[in-house]
């Protein structure tokens, strides 16, 4: 019997390394695919690339910008998704403050200071207690470097032009798990509440002492949550 497939969709400036603990924990029971989100400058393009690489049916696990891609996948091919897990993401499009922050990042890149983007984001990404964790910070910097300036600019263009997914949340009928760290510096609880109110029967888990990167900051907790979730919804 073929093993179920899990497709992972990553956030901006993040690579497959964001999922390393989960890939190791789930590899025995699942076929695992990490979607390529560094080739396109639209969310639609990222969603099309994800769907082209995925089998006919799959579980979808998405983090941050990957959540924007996941919402687009659910609009384009909902029949292909068995279950959905949304980690540290939101459904709304950007407001003026978010747009201005992204334009600031673009100005940094265009002035040759791409390395500074990751440094400015680190305080928003990790729990305050982890800001001295050089191994974690080093991995964040390495993922940014591996994404590269051009890849990051494409991601910014995609994020800034994305659709507001709130109106389509009610059409998501697959089992949905929403996960957020309680000290996430990018998403808010109000944004999680919008998702929970919009998607019928969505389930929410908050991880204490965790920032925007639960897969790395609380890997054992996320591994357990995903293993239980996937098993519950037609997994191994």
Here the CATH number for the domain that contains residue 127 is 3.40.50.1820
Tokens encoding 115: 């390395």
Cα torsion 165, 227, 127, 14 to 10°: value is -60
For residue 81, give the DSSP letter: E
Q: What is the largest CA-CA distance in the chain?
A: 53
In terms of Cβ atoms closer than 10 Å to its own Cβ (0-12, 13-18, 19+), residue 56 is exposed
Contacts of residue 21, Cβ cutoff 8 Å, sequence gap at least 6: 215, 216, 219, 220, 222, 223
Query: Does pTM top 0.85 for this prediction?
Result: yes
Q: Coil, helix or strand for 56? A: coil
| Range 72-110 burial, b when 16+ CB lie within 10 A, else e | bbbeeeeebbbbbbbbbbbbebbeeeeeeebeebbebbe
Residue 2 pLDDT grade (very low, low, confident, very high; cuts 50, 70, 90):
confident
Q: For residue range 153-177, list pLDDT tens digits in order.
A: 999 999 999 999 999 999 999 999 9
Segment 89-106 mean pLDDT: 90
**Mean pLDDT in residue range 117-127:** 93
Angle formed at CA 204 by CA 22 and CA 209, multiple of 5 degrees: 65
- For residue 38, what are the domain limits? 1-236
Phi and psi, residue 56, nearest 5°: -60, -35
Q: Say yes or no to pLDDT of 27 above 60.
A: yes
CA 122, CA 101: separation in Å to the nearest integer?
14
Tell me how many domains the chain contains.
1
Question: Mind listing the pLDDT tens digit for each residue in 174-206?
Answer: 999 999 999 999 999 999 999 999 999 999 999
């Amino acid at each position: 019997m073929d093993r179920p497939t899990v497709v992972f969709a990553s956030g901006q400036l993040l690579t497959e390394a964001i999922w390393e603990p989960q890939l190791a924990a789930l590899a025995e029971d699942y076929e695992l695919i990490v979607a390529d989100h560094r080739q396109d400058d639209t969310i639609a393009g990222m969603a099309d690339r994800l769907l082209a690489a995925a089998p006919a049916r799959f579980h979808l696990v998405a983090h941050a910008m990957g959540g924007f891609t996941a919402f687009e996948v659910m609009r384009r091919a909902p029949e292909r998704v068995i279950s959905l897990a949304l980690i540290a993401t939101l459904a709304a499009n950007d407001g003026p403050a978010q747009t201005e922050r992204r334009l600031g990042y673009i100005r940094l890149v265009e002035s040759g200071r791409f390395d500074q983007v990751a440094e400015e984001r680190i305080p928003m990404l990790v729990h305050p207690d982890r800001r001295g964790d050089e191994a974690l910070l080093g991995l964040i910097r390495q993922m940014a470097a591996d994404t590269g300036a051009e890849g990051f600019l494409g991601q910014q263009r995609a994020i800034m032009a994305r659709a507001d997914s709130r109106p389509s949340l009610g059409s998501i009928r697959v089992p949905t798990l929403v996960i957020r760290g309680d000290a996430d510096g990018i998403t808010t609880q109000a944004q999680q509440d919008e998702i929970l109110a919009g998607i019928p029967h969505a389930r929410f888990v908050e991880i204490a002492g965790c920032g925007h990167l639960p897969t790395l900051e609380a890997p054992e907790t996320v591994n357990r949550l995903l293993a239980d979730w996937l098993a519950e919804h037609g997994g191994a």
